[in-house]
Structure 1
């Protein structure tokens, strides 16, 4: 059992990366062993999965795991089949460390630091899900380089439409220069408001531009899903309502990432 590593990304905030990463990890853990990795210093995935303040994980996060180049001692149990490597504010110092202390003491390619960190635990899981920050910085770049598949997130806004081509270009760059086996699994589109004609127009524009790269599933804003940050994924009476449309996406995603 060697995990497939899936990253969710786009350099635009508010595009449901964290919610989608968390729900996908949760749904996959119903039948598979899953490790969620929080690569965003905001730590929102950590809070979503654990309902704990990220400060509680200080000194025991993905930052320390990368400094050790071994994730083994930094894995937290969320449920029997769902584990987490947490993040908190100090992950924002990652770039400074990467280009100073790490660079001074390692001959390894900096781009592969996350891949090397996850390697010792990869055989323990079926899937590793990585949530990335809303920026094309080092945290995102090492996540892309560690991934087998990348899911590009798109919310129906003009700024996100502009960001999408640049994100995909970055993926191609990582594939060409660092990780030739990485692939873009597809573009997951989401509506901000299904009643707005401009939202529907932008969803159609992405379909016209990128064709089969787009998943058929189009997410719509859902109040129950929006409350997950407060209600959590476990012991939640409205969980089925919150994740229903994501089940369709996971089914479609599994069809694209199977060998």
Structure 2
């Protein structure tokens, strides 16, 4: 069964898409079978992994259709032998209307139902979520074995952490008792700013049992990845350096997938 890992917090600009995309890519580079699932109607993970800026390329072939059909298999796109993508586009914003007006099952477990047909095929399933709490986020948590809480080193994101922890606890108690917190990942840290350093230390003091040791610092080469792509990028070694350290920690915490 796949390890299903959601990256989330109800705050934009924290590096969810970049981190989830790089994580999926690096896992695939290690030889694991990986499915990246885009649960954000902005479709940025879709653009990042596919290399296509035109979401119309995926119209009516997205995670929304997979949820409606109850089966992800017809809508998965192979990027290479190991990395596959379940894309999203703007129409994913209509998911709440569908779930509460037409869906016959538990609306919080619709994604889990759609992924049930492929969980035995993949080693890891990585889910990117939108910047606000929504049915997309709740469905991601409902389908996951683990969640990585994203923490951009700022005051607003600091305030969002306890609220997201409450959301995770509610998801555990009501829809997914097996959900576990993989940890809090400190991202977009700026070594030149004292407030960023203070937030790095503060979150570690308050959540010492949860934070990853790795801190993802701002780096120009990482920021350019959406421009130059994940494959055949001459800056890749430098761009991935922090994320490779995080990946080792992540695998250590969630474990390697069990082979059926």
The answer to whether TM tops 0.5 is yes
**SS in structure 2 at match of 1:211:** coil
**Is 2:189–2:197's contact at 8 Å kept on the other side of the alignment?**
no
Q: Distance in 2 between matches of 1:184 and 1:158?
A: 22
* Structure 1 residue aligned with 2:183: 186
* Structure 2 residue aligned with 1:57: 58
**SS in structure 2 at match of 1:207:** helix
**SS in structure 1 at match of 2:115:** helix
Q: Does 1:249 align with 2:246?
A: yes
* Structure 1 residue aligned with 2:74: 73
Please give the per-residue CA displacement for 1:151-192, whole angstroms capped at 9, x wherever unaligned.
000001110000111011100110011111000100000244
Please give the per-residue CA displacement for 1:185-234, whole angstroms capped at 9, x wherever unaligned.
00000244211111110111101111120000001001111011111101
* Structure 2 residue aligned with 1:162: 159
Considering fraction of residues, name the structure with more helix. Answer: 1
Query: Which residues of structure 2 form unaligned runs of 5+?
Result: none
Q: Distance in 2 between matches of 1:59 and 1:116?
A: 19
* Structure 1 residue aligned with 2:37: 37
**Two-structure CA RMSD over aligned residues (Å):** 0.9
Q: Does 1:46 align with 2:43?
A: no
Normalization by structure 2: what TM-score?
0.96
**Is 2:32–2:123's contact at 8 Å kept on the other side of the alignment?**
yes
**Is 1:156–1:190's contact at 8 Å kept on the other side of the alignment?**
yes
How many residue pairs match? The answer is 254
Q: CA offset at residue 11 of structure 1?
A: 0.7
**SS in structure 1 at match of 2:203:** helix
**SS in structure 2 at match of 1:233:** coil
Please give the per-residue CA displacement for 1:64-104, whole angstroms capped at 9, x wherever unaligned.
000001001000011110000000000011111111121xx
Q: CA offset at residue 54 of structure 1?
A: 1.3
* Structure 2 residue aligned with 1:88: 89
**Is 2:185–2:215's contact at 8 Å kept on the other side of the alignment?**
yes
**SS in structure 2 at match of 1:123:** coil
Q: Distance in 2 between matches of 1:189 and 1:213?
A: 11
Query: Which residues of structure 1 form unaligned runs of 5+?
Result: none
Q: Distance in 2 between matches of 1:194 and 1:159?
A: 19
